[in-house]
Chain A
Amino acid sequence: MSAAPGAVVPRRRSGAQQSPWWALLFVGPTALGLAVFYLWPTVRTLYLSFTEAGMFGGYTWVGLDNYAALLADPELLTALRNTFVYTVIVLVGIPVAVVVATLLNTPGLRGRGVYRVLYFLPVVTMPAAIALVWRMLYNGDYGVLNQALGAVGISGRSWLTDPATALVAVAVVAIWAGLGTSIVIFLAGLQGIPASVMEAAKLDGAGPVRTFRSVTVPLLSPSIFFVSVVGIIGALQVFDLVYMMVGRNNPALPDTKTVVYLFYEAGFLDNHRGSAAAIAFVLLVIILGLTVLQFRLQKRWVHYE
C-alpha cells in the first residue's frame, strides 16, 4: 500500500485492500477451534441422536427411536415440567432486581457502591460453594432457616429432601445468586434515562410508585427484555445447583431433576449417548422456540427510543 502524499484516498476504503492472508492470521485459529470443538460436535450430536451406543464402543443407527422413546418417557416429561417450573420461579428475580436497581438509583443516595458490592458477592462465588452453604442453611434438623422459623412459631421442614419444596428451594438460591448481575445491568439502563424525564413525571404530580410504573419500567424495558431472554436460556440449562444441592440419594431427586441433569445422567453415567444427544436436541428446540417467541412478543411491551 503506497499512499503518495497528497493522493486522494477514499475514506470508506479502509481495510479493503489488505491481502486475505491477514484475515487468516487473525480469524484462523478461532475459526479452526470453533469448527473442531463446537460446530462439528453439533453435527455429530445430531448424528448420535439417531444412534445407540454399543457395549464396546461404536454406534448403531436406530433412526428416530431415541426421540420416540424419549417422548414416551415419563421421566422426560417430569424433567421438562421441573425445568419450566424452575425457570418461571427464577424469573421472579427480574422484578426484584428492577426494584433494587431503582432504589439504588435514588438521586444523592450515599453508599451506593457499598450496596452494589454486597448484592454482587454471590456473582463471584462458585455455584458449587453456594450450593454447599445453602444446603447447610436449609438443613431440616439444625439448619438456621428452620431455627429462625421455629423462633416465630412456624415449624419448618426438610426443604431439600421434601419433594414438595426442593425445586422451589433451589430456585430461590438461583434468584439470590443471580440478582447482582441483573441489578448491575438495570442500573446501567437506569442511568441512561435522562433526569429531565423523571423531573417531568414529578412535576405532573406522579408519586414514586406511579413514576416507577409509568416511566421507569417502560424506559427500562429493553434491559428487562435482554435480562429475561438471557435468564430464560440460562435457567432452562440449569445443572450446577441441582447437582450440588440435591444429592444422588435424595428422595426429592425425581421432582428436581432438570433436562440437563437427565442429559448428564444419560450421557455420562448410564452410557446412553444416543438418548442424551436426543435430549440435547429437544432442549435446543425448546430454547430456540422460547427465544423466538420472546422476540415476537417484545413489540407489545419493549419500548425502544
Chain B
Amino acid sequence: MSEALREALTDTASARPAATAATRPATRTAPRTAPAATTPRRRQPWVVHALLAAGAVVMVFPFAWQLLTAFKTFQASVQVPPSILPDPWVFTNFGEVFASMPFGSMFLNSVLLTVLRTAGQVVLCTMAGYAFARLSFPGRNVIFVAFLSVLMVPTQLYLLPQYEIVQALGWLDSLPGLVMPGIFSAFGTFLMRQFFMSLPAELEEAARLDGANPWQAFSRVMVPLARPGIVALTVFTVLWSWNDLLWPLVVTTSPEKMPLSVGLAQMVGLHGTDFPVLMAGALLATLPMLVTFMVLQRQFIQGIAFTGSKG
C-alpha cells in the first residue's frame, strides 16, 4: 500500500503526464486485437474535464463569493439581483472586524494554540509511538490497549471532567487551559507507532550494536527516517488545532483569550446578517491556513492521505 500511496501522492500538477502514460503500455498485453478501439493516449478526455471543472466550480464558488462580499458595502451585498463585483470596492469591513473585537489577540491565541499543541504532540507522540513499536517493557500491551481505548471514545465523554480539571488548576480562560489536553494524543501515538513498525529494524540495530543507547538510536536514526509520519501528524494536528471549536468555546469567556474560531462565533451575535463584515472576519481567520496550504500543498494532501491510510 505505501508504495502505491507514495506514487499517488508525489504526482502533482506538473508531474509529467507523459511519464505516467509511458509506463502504462508496458503492462498492456494485446493492443493488436482491436486497433480501432484503442484511442490515442495523449488526447485529453474532455468529458472528464467538463465534469471535474463543474465540480471544481461548486467547490470554489463559496470562497470566491466570500472574497468579493468582503469588499462590498452592506447595500451592495443585499442588492437584488446581486452584483458580482463590488461597486464600489470598500475596505472598511476589515476595519469593523478589528473595531468590534480584539482580533489581534484572537489571532495570536490561535497561533499559539496551534504551535504549542502541535509541538507538544509531535514530540510526545513520536517518543511514545517509538517505544510501543521498538522497545519492550513490562505492561507494554496493557498500556497500548488503554491508549487504543481512548481512540475509540467520542470527545464528549471526557469534555466535562477535562473542564473540571482545567477549572481546578485555575486555567479557565487562559492559554494553558486551551492548549493542555490537546498536547496528548492517543491517535498521534498510534499513528507514529504504525509508522515506526513499517521502518526496517536493521539500521537501528546497527546503531545499537555500535553502542548507541535507545535515546540516541531514536533521535539520530529513527526520527530522521520518520519524517513522512511526522509531517502527517503535524498537518493533522495543525488543522485540528486551528479549526477546533467546541473546547475553546467551553474554556474561554473573555474575548482577549478566545481563538479565532470562537471569535467568529461571537461575530455572528455582533453583526447578525451584516455579511460583508462577517466575510471579512471569516477571510482573515482562514487566510493564514489557506496560504500555508497553497505553499505546502503536497505535504498537506500527503499528510491527510497518510493519516487516512494508517488511522
**A residues neighboring B (CB under 8 Å):** 1, 3, 9, 11, 14-16, 18, 20, 22-27, 29-31, 33-42, 44-45, 48, 100, 103-104, 106-130, 132-137, 139, 141-142, 144, 147, 151, 176, 179-181, 184-185, 187-188, 190-192, 194-196, 199-200, 203, 226-227, 230, 233, 236-237, 239-240, 243-244, 247, 260, 263-264, 267-268, 273, 276-277, 279-281, 283-284, 287-288, 291
Question: In whole angstroms, how far apart are the Cα atoms of A124 and B56 in the complex?
Answer: 16
**In the complex the two chains form, is A14's CB within 8 Å of B205's CB?**
yes
A162 to chain B, nearest CB (A): 16
Give the residues in chain A near B180, CB-CB below 8 Å.
Answer: 37
28 residue pairs of the A-B complex, CB under 8 angstroms, read A22-B135, A23-B136, A24-B137, A25-B127, A26-B127, A26-B135, A37-B184, A39-B149, A48-B160, A109-B45, A112-B13, A112-B17, A123-B304, A128-B264, A134-B62, A147-B80, A179-B59, A184-B304, A190-B8, A191-B8, A192-B5, A196-B29, A230-B311, A237-B155, A240-B246, A264-B250, A279-B156, A280-B156
Given A34-B150, A103-B48, A203-B30, A136 contacting B5 (CB threshold 8 A): no
- B218: Cβ under 8 A from any A Cβ: yes
A148 to chain B, nearest CB (A): 9
B228 to chain A, nearest CB (A): 13
**In the complex the two chains form, is A113's CB within 8 Å of B189's CB?**
no
**In the complex the two chains form, is A109's CB within 8 Å of B44's CB?**
yes
**In the complex the two chains form, is B48's CB within 8 Å of A276's CB?**
no
B284 to chain A, nearest CB (A): 9
Interface residues of B in 116-140 (CB under 8 A from A): 124-125, 127-128, 130-132, 134-138, 140
Given A27-B143, A128-B261, A147-B81, A118 contacting B65 (CB threshold 8 A): no
Give the residues in chain B near A233, CB-CB below 8 Å.
Answer: 154
**In the complex the two chains form, is B154's CB within 8 Å of A41's CB?**
no
Question: In whole angstroms, how far apart are the Cα atoms of A287 and B157 in the complex?
Answer: 12
Given A109-B45, A124-B290, A239 contacting B245 (CB threshold 8 A): yes
B156 to chain A, nearest CB (A): 4
Give the residues in chain B near A9, CB-CB below 8 Å.
Answer: 209
Question: In whole angstroms, how far apart are the Cα atoms of A116 and B29 in the complex?
Answer: 31
Q: Quick one: which of B29, B59, B65, B183 contacts A176, CB cutoff 8 A? A: B59
**In the complex the two chains form, is B24's CB within 8 Å of A195's CB?**
yes
- B165: Cβ under 8 A from any A Cβ: yes
Given A187-B8, A287-B154, A133 contacting B56 (CB threshold 8 A): no
Give the residues in chain B near A100, CB-CB below 8 Å.
Answer: 52, 55
Given A27-B127, A116-B301, A129 contacting B81 (CB threshold 8 A): no
**In the complex the two chains form, is B184's CB within 8 Å of A38's CB?**
yes
- B265: Cβ under 8 A from any A Cβ: yes
Give the residues in chain B near A240, CB-CB below 8 Å.
Answer: 245-246
**In the complex the two chains form, is B4's CB within 8 Å of A191's CB?**
yes
Question: In whole angstroms, how far apart are the Cα atoms of A240 and B21 in the complex?
Answer: 43
**B residues neighboring A (CB under 8 Å):** 1, 4-5, 7-9, 11-15, 17, 20-21, 24, 27-30, 33, 41-42, 44-45, 48-49, 51-52, 55-56, 58-60, 62-63, 65-66, 69, 77-82, 124-125, 127-128, 130-132, 134-138, 140, 143, 146-147, 149-150, 152-165, 180-181, 183-186, 189, 201, 204-205, 208-209, 211, 213-215, 218, 239, 242-243, 245-246, 249-250, 260-262, 264-265, 267-268, 273, 275, 278-279, 281-283, 285-286, 289-290, 292-294, 297, 300-301, 304-305, 308-309, 311
**In the complex the two chains form, is B127's CB within 8 Å of A188's CB?**
no
A163 to chain B, nearest CB (A): 20
Question: In whole angstroms, how far apart are the Cα atoms of A236 and B152 in the complex?
Answer: 13
Give the residues in chain B near A196, CB-CB below 8 Å.
Answer: 27, 29
Given A184-B301, A192-B5, A195-B24, A114 contacting B13 (CB threshold 8 A): yes
Give the residues in chain A near B294, CB-CB below 8 Å.
Answer: 117
Q: Quick one: which of B124, B186, B205, B301 contacts A120, CB cutoff 8 A? A: B301
Q: Quick one: which of A45, A119, A129, A203 contacts B55, CB cutoff 8 A? A: A119
A239 to chain B, nearest CB (A): 6
**In the complex the two chains form, is A188's CB within 8 Å of B158's CB?**
no
Question: In whole angstroms, how far apart are the Cα atoms of A40 and B146 in the complex?
Answer: 11
A14-B208, A39-B150, A187-B8 given; 8 more Cβ-contact pairs under 8 Å: A38-B150, A41-B162, A109-B17, A121-B290, A124-B292, A129-B285, A188-B4, A196-B27
Residue of B nearest to A263 (CB): B156
Q: Quick one: which of B132, B163, B213, B265 contacts A27, CB cutoff 8 A? A: B132
